[in-house]
Amino acid sequence: MKGRHRSAGSSGGALKLGAAAVAVLIVLAGSWYAFNKYSKPACGGTAAKLSIGAVADIAPALRQQAADWAEQAKQNGNCVDIEVFDEDPADVAAALAGKAEKSLTGVGQANGKTRIPDVWVADSSLWLQRIRAVNPQSLQAGAHSIALSPVVLAMPEPIATASFGWPNKNISYADLVTKVATDQKVKVGIVEPSRDATGLGSLLTLATVAQQAGGGNQTQATQIATAALRALAAGRSSVRSDLVQKFPRGSDPAALGSGLTVAPLSEQAVIQYNGQQPPVRLAALYAEPSAPPMDYPYVVLSADKASMADELLKQLNSQDFRDKLGAIGLRGADGAPGKGFQTPANAPGALAAAAPQLPDAATVEQLLSRWQAITLPARMLAVIDVSGSMLEPVPTAGNATRMQVTLEAARKGMSLFDDSWSLGVWIFSTLLDGNKDYKQLVPIGPLVSQRATALQALATIQPKKNGDTGLYDTILAAYKAVQSGYESGRVNSIIVMTDGENDDPAGGLKLEDLIAQLKAAADPQKPIQIILIGIGDKVGEAAMKQITDSVGGGTFVAPDPAKIGDIFLQAISLRGQIAQPK
C-alpha cells in the first residue's frame, strides 16, 4: 500500500512538474512571440502612401500582393501604406476626360464618389486609348500590362456541343455574325459596350467581321452589320452580373431555348461562373479573329508617386503574383497561367503576350456613335436645309451635291433606328409653305408604321433654286412642335442640317430674339435637345453654338461636306448625354 502511495505521490509530483513545464513553455512561447513581434525593425517616420484604383476583377490579387510588399518593407525598416480600392473603369475614364471638359461617348459624367488614384488599373487598354483621344495630357506615356484574360464567346455547353461541335471545334466571329443575322432563335447578349471593355472589344470585332461579310457589296455589308448590332442591342445588359443571369438555368430544351445563347465575356468571367457550380456550365470558345483581350494596364497618374509605384510594379512581375492571379481566374501578363488556374476546356495553355492590336480612336468612337443611335429610344424631328446653296457640288464626294450627301447621311442614319423610334421630317429654306420658311413632310410618329413614308419623303427632297436660309424662324417652330408632343422616357430632340447662316430677306427673327424666345419656352422638366449640324465652311458656327448653349444640345460642323455621315452619327450619339444650358 505504501508503494502504491509513494507511486501515487510520485505521479502527482510528476504531474505538477509537467504542468509547471508546460506553463514555462507557454510563458517562453509567449515571450518569444512578443520578442519576435516587437524586435522586428520598426518603421521610421511617416508611412509612404499609395492609392490604387483597380477594376474589381483584379483587385483581390492586388490587395494581397500589396500587403505582402508592405510587410517586406516593414522588415527592412520602411513603412508603406497601400490602399487598393475597387473603381469602375468607366467612372475613372469619365473623371479624367472631365478634367479637360470632355466626355466619352455613352459614358457621361463620373460617379460623384469617383476618386482619381495615384495608380489606375483598368481592365483594358481600350480605356487609355479613348481617354487620350479627348484629353492627351491626362495620361503619361507607357503602361504595363500586369495580367491577361482573353475575350471568349461564352455559350451553354449543351448548345456549344450540339450546334458547333465544341470542344473539338471552335466558332469564329464570322459564324456568329451569320447565325445572328439569319437565325432568330439565337439569343445573343453583350455588356453595354460604351461602359464595358469586354463588350466594346467584342463589338469592334463583330462589326469588322460583319462589314466584311458583304463580300464587297457595301449595302449588303451595312445591312448585315446593322442586323448584328440590333441583335446585340436587344440582348444588352448594363452590367455583367445581369447578363450572366440570362443564361439557361436548366438543360432541358425549354430552358435552353428560352435562355441566352451566346455572349462575349472574359475568360475569367466564365471560370468564375463555372466555379459556382451552375445547373448548366458555360463553354469558353476562343473565336477568331480574337477580340482585344483584357490586359489590365498599370498606369501611374500621380507623378510624385512614380518611384513607389514602380517598386510595386516589380512585385507584380513575380511568380508569386501570377499565382495570386491564377487563384481568381486570371493569367499572367505574358498569357501563361499561375498555380490554381482552372483552364477551360479547349483553351490554350498559354497565350501570345504581344500587345493587343487596337483600332484607332476615331473608329472606336464612330462605332459607339452607331451603337448609341441604335440603343437609345428617341423622338426626333429631322429638319433639312433645301436652300439654293445645297446644289453646290462636293469635290471630295465625286461632285455629288451637298443635298445628295446630306440625304444619303440621313438615309443611312435612319437605317440604324429601330421601330421603337419616333421620327418626323421637315425641310426649310424661305417661303416654302405660304409665308412659312419651313414645311412638314412627315409628322413625328413611330417608325414601325411610317418608316417607308419617311424614306419616300427623303427621296423627293429637292433644293429650292435661289432659296435663302430661314434658319432662326425654323428652329423656333421646330422646338415648339417637338415640345407640344413631348414624350417622357425618350430623348426628345431636333436635328437641323444646314450649310449656311441665317439669311431671310423677309425679315424674321434675329439671333438675340430666337435665344430669348427659346429660353422663355424651355421647360426643365421636359428637356429638348437642339442639335445643329453645319455642312461646309460657310456656316455660322459661333451663332449656332450660342443657340445650342442657350437651351441644351450641341453644335457639329463638317467643313468637308463629304464627312457629313460621320458628323451625323456623332451628333446622334449626343442624345445620351443631354448638354445642359450654359
Strand ranges in 78-219 using DSSP code E only, listed in sequence order: 80-86, 119-121, 144-145, 151-156, 190-191
Q: Are residues 133 and 185 in the same domain?
A: no
Residue 61 domain boundaries: 48-146+296-327
Kindly state whether residue 259 falls inside one of the protein's structural domains: yes
Residues 425 and 566 in one domain: yes
> How many other C-beta atoms can be found within 10 angstroms of the C-beta atom of residue 2?
6
582 occurs within a structural domain: no
Let me know if residue 31 belongs to a domain. Answer: no
- Same structural domain, 128 and 73: yes
- Residue 563: give its domain's CATH number: 3.40.50.410
What's the rounded Cα separation, in Å, for the pair 262 and 260? 6
* Alpha carbon distance 154, 171 (integer Å): 11
Contact 99, 138 (CB under 8 A): yes
- Both 277 and 302 in one domain: the answer is no
Q: 377 preceded by cis ω (within 30°)?
A: no
Going residue by residue through the chain, which has 582 residues, state the pLDDT in tens, using 9 for 90 and above: 333 333 333 334 433 334 433 333 333 333 333 323 323 445 555 788 999 999 999 999 999 999 999 988 887 778 889 999 999 999 999 999 988 888 888 888 888 889 999 999 999 999 999 998 888 877 877 789 999 999 999 999 999 998 888 998 878 888 888 777 677 788 899 999 999 999 999 999 988 887 777 666 766 676 677 777 777 887 889 999 999 999 999 989 899 988 999 999 999 999 999 999 999 999 999 998 889 999 999 999 999 999 999 999 999 999 999 999 999 999 999 999 999 999 998 887 777 655 567 888 888 888 888 787 777 778 999 999 999 999 999 999 999 999 999 999 999 888 778 788 899 999 999 999 999 999 999 999 999 999 999 999 999 999 999 999 999 999 999 999 999 999 988 889 999 999 989 999 888 999 999 999 999 999 989 999 999 999 998 898 999 999 999 998 889 999 999 988 888 877 776 554 545 566
Q: Are residues 171 and 217 in the same domain?
A: yes
What is the Cα–Cα distance from 320 to 340, expressed in whole angstroms? 12
* pTM > 0.85: yes or no: no
- 282 beta partners: 156
- Tell me, yes or no, whether 412 lies in a domain: yes
Residues 301 and 190 in one domain: no
**What's the CATH number where 168 sits?**
3.40.190
Residues 320 and 409 in one domain: no
**Dihedral through CA 213, CA 215, CA 220, CA 221, nearest 10?**
40
Grid coordinates standing for 145? 500590362
Q: Which of 253, 285, 317 is the last residue of a domain?
A: 285
* β-bridge pairing 48-54 and 119-121: parallel
* In-domain check, residue 338: no
What are the Cα distances from residue 218, in Å, to 105, 212, 297, 412?
Answer: 26, 9, 37, 12
In a domain, 343, yes or no: no
Give the domain CATH number at 84: 3.40.190.10
Does residue 484 belong to any structural domain of this protein?
yes
Residues 195 and 302 in one domain: no
Residue 26 lies in a domain: no
Q: Examine the domain organization and report whether 130 and 219 are in the same domain.
A: no
Q: Are residues 314 and 388 in the same domain?
A: no
For residues 539 and 557, state if they share a domain: yes
**How many distinct structural domains can be found in the chain?**
3
Q: Are residues 174 and 85 in the same domain?
A: no
